Amino acid sequence: MHHKGADDGVHSPLGPGDSNVPGYAESHEDDPLILQDPTTAEKRLLRKLDRRILPITCLLYLFAYLDRSNLGNARLQGLPEDVLGGDPSGVLFDWLVAAFYITCMSSLTPCSIFSKYYNPRIWLACSAILWGICSTSMATASGFGHLLVARLGLGVFEAAFAPSIILYFSFYYTKAEYGIRIASWFGFAAVAGAFGGLLAYGIQNIKISIPSWRLLFLVEGVPSVLLGVLCLFILPGRPESTSFLTHAERNLAIERMNRGTSGDVGAVVNRSHVIAAFWDWRVYAAGITNFGLNCALGSLSAFLPTIIETLGHSPASSQLLTIPPYAVACLVLISSSYASDRIQSRGFIIVSGCSMGGIGYMILLGASHEHVHVRYLATFCIAAGTYTSLGLMMAWFAHNLGSETKRATGIPLFGTIGQAGSILGSHLYPLTDGPAYSRGFGVSGALMFLAALSALTLSISYRMENARRNAAYGEPDRDAPVDTSELADKAPGFRYLP
């Protein structure tokens, strides 16, 4: 059964960049796409979409990630001493880190499903504006309570953003294009890690009349608000309703949207697919992988500067030395995602990434503090393995859940399980455990290996199910439309990306 939004669910609320009626009347005489061969027309459309969608969504995620992870840098700039009474045990800081994930966890799935009733351009813009306000307000904090409320709000509004972006990309990109685009977008989390360290280093060395950490929150929070406003005028809405595309381009975009699956038309939520996502064991297996990865990521983003400081570097140098691991992680993510698009397989690459991160944590656990270079090398393994695996997980399930509604439910559902790992990760490195942090390294490493095992199980199950369907129904054309409106990924013609 389908539940539709306003105006019988045919289209979303509209504004700049969207037509008033899907397929509205217009002149097509000057439409350049009509006169081109299909391959040229598709390449032209893809370039047009990339130019409009990728820059602003990547910048949005850059600042989203800066806003959620800048506490780690602020900690080294005197935030605990100024507003947390020194926080000698590190417990108050841990709760500030965890507060973001608590509201993010509880908001991910409802926000993602609810976003289906709205124009994605407006939804994403409002999310960015609101989380930017929360982040900027932290610069005025006078105590733990103010910081806690801002972090809780930040979790809600960033939860409205990330799953909706993954769903939004599936409106315009095919499964053969999806991995590299998700990697380009998610890679800005790694860029944020590098840029955040550089920015924090620069701010820490500026002579100003306010504490460095207050300026850090201002510099990283205000751009999110400005980018949110810009989104209202730049991002296209759904393919069937946006005036950013010509008539021929809209038809081609809709045809691409239905390759190997089928898309919805307008603000439609299929309630049976919401339920199916909650009953799908693979969503929970993905949640196990995501749990281990997010534990590592939560640890990395909040505590990497502190971990590097245990190698014997000053706080300022520690900020600077966070840049190379993130830069390498970004390169590995992009190259791995490009390869996974070419070979149309993601599972085994994810297994390799998880294993690499687990090995990195084992090195930190086992290597003595005298082996500074070996321990620093381990942070490269952790960053590269974690970011690569997380980026590919999102691209993997963006296709494998079959329908828009199941994607809108399943992706944030396994993301919610993953965020529990982030909460765990934020509690694994109290100052009282330093400088060894044996518990944190041991738990994070073990969970990375568990994530690898879960991803391996998923990949094998997808291959076996594809083989079963091929034997029963024959091999379908990989780009032919598949009616997933009733059965989602269980449709006989649907094939999983292993």
Q: pTM of the predicted model, to two decimals?
A: 0.83
Could you tell me how many residues make up the chain?
498
| 82: number of Cβ within 10 Å | 16
| Mean pLDDT for the chain overall | 86
Whether 14 shows a pLDDT value over 50: the answer reads no
DSSP H helices, 310-433, are 315-321, 323-343, 347-366, 372-400, 404-426
pLDDT at 127: 96
Supply the pLDDT for residue 32.
Answer: 56
Which residues partner with 18 through β-bridges?
Answer: 242
Q: What confidence tier does 233 reach under pLDDT thresholds 50, 70, 90? A: very high
pLDDT at 317: 73
Average pLDDT over residues 83-95: 85
pLDDT band, residue 4 (cuts 50/70/90)? very low
Non-local (6+) Cβ contacts of 405 within 8 A are: 113, 116, 264, 268, 269, 270, 271, 273, 274, 277, 488
Mean pLDDT, rounded, for 436-446:
89
Is the model's pLDDT at 221 over the cut of 70?
A: yes
Q: Residue 35: its pLDDT value, please?
A: 54
**Of 52-61, 308-317, 352-361, 474-483, which range is least confident?**
308-317
**Is 16's pLDDT higher than 70?**
no
Determine which of 6-20, 118-132, 339-353, 370-384 has the lowest per-residue pLDDT on average: 6-20
Check residue 266 and give its pLDDT: 66
| Minimum mean pLDDT range among 92-96, 387-391, 454-458 | 92-96
Q: 273 or 265: whose pLDDT is higher?
A: 273
Rounded distance, CA 274 to CA 136, Å? Answer: 35
Q: Which residue has the higher pLDDT, 89 or 58?
A: 58
More confident residue, 342 or 34: 342
Per-residue confidence (pLDDT) for residue 166, from 0 to 100: 92
Cα pseudo-dihedral 53, 55, 60, 65, rounded to 10: 120
With cut-offs at 50, 70 and 90, classify the pLDDT of residue 11: very low
Q: So what's the pLDDT on residue 95?
A: 87
- pLDDT at residue 13 in the model: 38
Q: What percent of the chain has pLDDT over 90?
A: 51
Per-residue pLDDT tens digits for 134-147: 999 999 998 999 99
Mean pLDDT confidence for 319-339: 88
Q: Please give the DSSP secondary-structure letter assigned to residue 18.
A: B
Q: Is the pLDDT at 438 greater than 90, yes or no?
A: no
Checking if the pLDDT of 264 tops 80, the result is no
Rank 13-22, 61-70, 131-140, 240-249 by mean pLDDT and report only the highest: 131-140
pLDDT at residue 8 in the model: 36
Distance in angstroms (rounded) separating the CA atoms of residues 328 and 126 = 32
Note whether 352 and 339 are within 8 A (CB).
Answer: no
Q: Does the CA dihedral 498-192-335-444 come out positive or negative?
A: negative
